[in-house]
Amino acid sequence: MSVGRPPATMTEIAAALGVSSATVSNALSGKGRVSVELSAKIRQAAAERGYVPSHAARALRTGRTGVIGLVLPDISNPLFPQIAQAIEQAASAAGYGVLIADSRGEIAQQTAAIGRLIERGVDGLIVVPRRGSRVGDIGTPVAIIDSPSTPGNTVSSDHWEGGVQMGRHFAALGHRKVLLIAQSRESNVQNDRIGGLKAGLGQDIGCETLWVGDLEAAHGAGCALGLAARVADGFTGFAAVYDLLALRALTELQRGGIDVPRQASVSGFDDLVWSSVVMPPITTLRQDLATIAERAVEALSDAIADSDTSTGERMDARPGLEPVPMTLVARQSTGRATMPATRMVVADAFDTRKDGR
Amino acid sequence: MSVGRPPATMTEIAAALGVSSATVSNALSGKGRVSVELSAKIRQAAAERGYVPSHAARALRTGRTGVIGLVLPDISNPLFPQIAQAIEQAASAAGYGVLIADSRGEIAQQTAAIGRLIERGVDGLIVVPRRGSRVGDIGTPVAIIDSPSTPGNTVSSDHWEGGVQMGRHFAALGHRKVLLIAQSRESNVQNDRIGGLKAGLGQDIGCETLWVGDLEAAHGAGCALGLAARVADGFTGFAAVYDLLALRALTELQRGGIDVPRQASVSGFDDLVWSSVVMPPITTLRQDLATIAERAVEALSDAIADSDTSTGERMDARPGLEPVPMTLVARQSTGRATMPATRMVVADAFDTRKDGR
DNA sequence: CTGAAAGCGCTTACAG
DNA sequence: CTGAAAGCGCTTACAG
């Protein structure tokens, strides 16, 4: 990064070389029909002078900013940062900048966030919708990251299939009664996971779903879930739809004097950093966020390209995108249940370095 | 968001009203010397036609994009998302968009990320530097979020004072030998926290610092820290410099048969979501990220404004910014040590909703 | 293969 | 108080 004279413009390079700025533009963009020699000369001059294209000018001229917007429901959610990181990575590789917006709080915030981003001139949006919300036609190309059951240009993990894997894991461990623990009935992701879990457990295993949201509506946030009583009722498996719920379940069980995994197995979803550090480490499903991000960016690029050509074609009409598989990470929390454990992989040595600065 | 005709431009509004675009510009920006009536008429017309200013055109003309860049060392770090959220909030309120970049991995990535952002034409940067790195003069206004001991336009929590609070907390609980647990000697933040802890503990309390990074360099990531042996040596306090380390300590102690908090107290820093959900909940220090973000955005705005006026004045010359206080959140992990507990606030009922979607 | 010209939408001196 | 004009840096038909 040379300080000193400011980076040259095309016009300046053109003047210095005694050619037209159109030729400079063509040479630099590569599209041009410019002789090889001249092109080389121009490139060199540009490099020497530290030419940096003006995104503003280009945007004004072409109507494209080269920036996409990322709308997250609550950036501080432990999983979203990883999504943001993966998106930034993928977008960067595709030549896009990423403008962020936070839609937490009221549902209206999501609309507001989208509006802000559009006003800033983003070429398209990637949105992780708030629970229970739909992203309507916003007149701008968009890709959604949610659940395969969400309509529109949606890319996501195969939450259902993940649930199936986990259900089978519990079945293989020999559990007969499993409690499924979810937060909100409105969440597509949670519903998918619950559905998959049931399918994976199969007909023969008794299961019931505990909606923590309902409980909390009645007894307040952080209320007891009555899990120890469930153990007394014969439940030995506790499959939560995300890790923090799993941790809450684990803690409540332990406090109630239940030994995990000897008397009960506990599992989560998403493999957050701490999930492998608690005692016992939590069995969970890992999302392939890098792939999801790549697909989302790709889907969005396509949508942006299309929005140029065909006017007004419904994005929703696109063929559904293939859901991305999740990976089961078996850890000690489902390690050796009362029943003979059939599979157990102790994964992930402690690694707490991530938190460091 | 009306679909249909595209939003009008100033020129179109001007034409429709039979005035000049200069007048429209003046009326809409408010700076103008335009009669009240005309101004009102123009505003109304703009509103009716859904006028949206072209950021690209404005940027091209003024040389300002109204966008700031946020450079984070590792977005997936559990704390940074909260920083990102707070920054987005503050920036948004100040009329800025936020472009993100991720500088994880090699140290060169930080420079690369900064370069990408500058090329995109950001007006300034907020960077959370990688451990042990310095942000030199990059020819663009910048605000740093790190530690008060970092030179430059730096805003941060008062990590040292936080350490003092925690040290006093341990002292008040009657501990006589406290082990300080940190990861990296290169981290300004960690060094500040360690320094504060020592000061807060005072002369009479024995303490020693365990650098986990050193240990891991020798024995590999995730190696045992030998904490139970420390208890045998008389250590009753274990103060980690961030929550994930505290969790690791807690887990290792429990696995070693040590009862926390009866036989040993454990504390962390940062109050991550799960810190209140593990058993026992972890005593920690909460950063006031909202305030930090506001200050950072404000400091950056000032730097941007200055960069217009005075040419080339060193940003580093600015007077240091006041560090932001942290708040001690006392929980059960330091609840009742072997010694009589003098203070204990049970904070935060379970609240796991944050993870939901 | 190369150049002259127009124009994207705004803002900013400068006249009137 | 209002308008005409120039120009930010680029790209894109259109000529030559």
- Tell whether A244 lies on the interface with B, counting CB pairs under 8 A: yes
Which residues of chain B neighbour A244 with C-beta distances below 8 Å? 273-274, 277, 352, 354-355
For chain B, which ranges sit under pLDDT 50?
1-4, 312-315, 317, 337-357
pLDDT at A76: 60
**What does pLDDT average to over chain B?**
87
In chain A, residues 32 through 71 whose Cβ sits under 7 angstroms from any atom of nucleic acid strand C: 32-35, 38-39, 57, 60-61
User: Strand C closer than 7 Å to the CB of B26?
Assistant: yes
| Helix, strand, coil percentages for chain A (3-state, nearest 5) | 45, 15, 45
pLDDT at B142: 94
CB atoms within 10 A of CB A204: 7
- Does residue A341 surpass a pLDDT of 80? no
> Which among A100, A279, A353 has the least Cβ separation from residue B255?
A279
Put simply, the answer to whether B1 touches A183 (Cβ < 8 Å) is no
> Which among A65, A277, A353 has the least Cβ separation from residue B183?
A353
What is the torsion angle, in degrees rounded to the nearest 10, for the CA atoms of residue A240, residue A246, residue A251 and residue A257?
Answer: 40
Tokens of A236: 């030995």
Tokens of A262: 């000897």
- Does residue A17 surpass a pLDDT of 70? yes
Distance A32 CA to C1 C1' (A): 10
Distance A58 CA to D14 C1' (A): 21
Q: What is the pLDDT of residues A167-189, one digit of tens each?
A: 999 999 999 999 999 999 999 99
- Does residue A339 surpass a pLDDT of 50? no
Distance A42 CA to D13 C1' (A): 22
Query: To which residue do tokens 């199969």 refer?
Result: A202
Q: What is the pLDDT of residues A23-67, one digit of tens each?
A: 899 888 887 678 888 888 889 989 988 899 999 999 999 999 999
- pLDDT band at residue A353, thresholds of 50, 70 and 90? very low
pLDDT at B32: 62
For chain B, positions 165-204, list CB contacts with chain A under 8 A.
183-184, 187, 189-190
Assess contact for A90 and A294: CB atoms under 8 A.
Answer: yes
Give residues with Cβ within 8 angstroms of A203, minimum separation 6.
none
> Which among A78, A84, A278 has the least Cβ separation from residue B78?
A78
pLDDT at B357: 45
Distance B11 CA to C7 C1' (A): 13
- pLDDT band at residue A6, thresholds of 50, 70 and 90? low
Which residues of chain B neighbour A138 with C-beta distances below 8 Å? 1
Task: Find the residue in B nearest to A240 (Cα).
Answer: B356
CA distances from A235 to A203, A240, A247, B80, B115 (A): 16, 14, 17, 38, 56
pLDDT at B309: 67
Shortest CA gap A88–chain B (Å): 7
Q: What is the pLDDT of residues A114-141, one digit of tens each?
A: 999 999 999 999 999 888 788 888 889 9
Task: Find the residue in B nearest to A91 (Cα).
Answer: B101
Pick the more confident residue, A356 or B15.
B15
Q: What is the pLDDT of residues A256-286, one digit of tens each?
A: 999 999 999 999 999 998 899 888 999 999 9
User: Strand C closer than 7 Å to the CB of B58?
Assistant: yes
The whole model's pTM is what?
Answer: 0.87
The stretch A314-318 carries a mean pLDDT of: 50
Cα–Cα distance measured from residue B347 to residue B332, given in angstroms and rounded to the nearest whole number: 9
- Does residue A84 surpass a pLDDT of 50? yes
Tokens of B218: 């020798």
Task: Find the residue in B nearest to A6 (Cα).
Answer: B139
Nearest residue to A75 via CA among B53, B354, B275, B246: B354
CA distances from B58 to B53, B99, B194 (A): 8, 18, 48
Task: Give kind and range of the element (H or E) at residue B328.
Answer: strand B327-329
Shortest CA gap B97–chain A (Å): 7
pLDDT at B16: 87
Strand D nucleotides where any atom sits below 7 Å of a protein CB: 1-13
Q: Supply the DSSP symbol for A324.
A: B
Distance A301 CA to D15 C1' (A): 35
Distance A91 CA to D11 C1' (A): 24
- Taking C1' of C6 and every protein CA, the nearest residue is A61
Cα–Cα distance measured from residue A94 to residue A218, given in angstroms and rounded to the nearest whole number: 48
Best of A54, A248, A352, A354 to substitute, by most chain B Cβ atoms within 10 angstroms, is A352
pLDDT at B31: 76
Put simply, the answer to whether A1 touches B115 (Cβ < 8 Å) is yes
- Tell whether B156 lies on the interface with A, counting CB pairs under 8 A: no
Assess contact for A115 and B1: CB atoms under 8 A.
Answer: yes
For residue B280, whether the previous peptide bond is cis, meaning omega lies within 30 degrees of 0, is: yes
pLDDT at A343: 36
Q: What is the pLDDT of residues A189-240, one digit of tens each?
A: 999 999 999 999 999 999 999 999 999 999 998 899 999 999 999 999 999 9
Shortest CA gap A271–chain B (Å): 12
What percentage of chain A reaches a pLDDT higher than 70?
A: 88
Q: What is the pLDDT of residues B65-96, one digit of tens each?
A: 999 999 998 766 778 878 888 999 999 999 99
pLDDT at A108: 87
Which residues of chain A neighbour B90 with C-beta distances below 8 Å? none
Put simply, the answer to whether A221 touches B248 (Cβ < 8 Å) is no
Query: What are the backbone dihedrals phi and psi of residue A355, each rounded to the nearest 5 degrees, phi first?
Result: -80, -10
Distance B153 CA to C12 C1' (A): 32
- Tell whether B108 lies on the interface with A, counting CB pairs under 8 A: no
Residues B311, B312, B316, B317, CA torsion sign: negative
Assess contact for A194 and A223: CB atoms under 8 A.
Answer: no
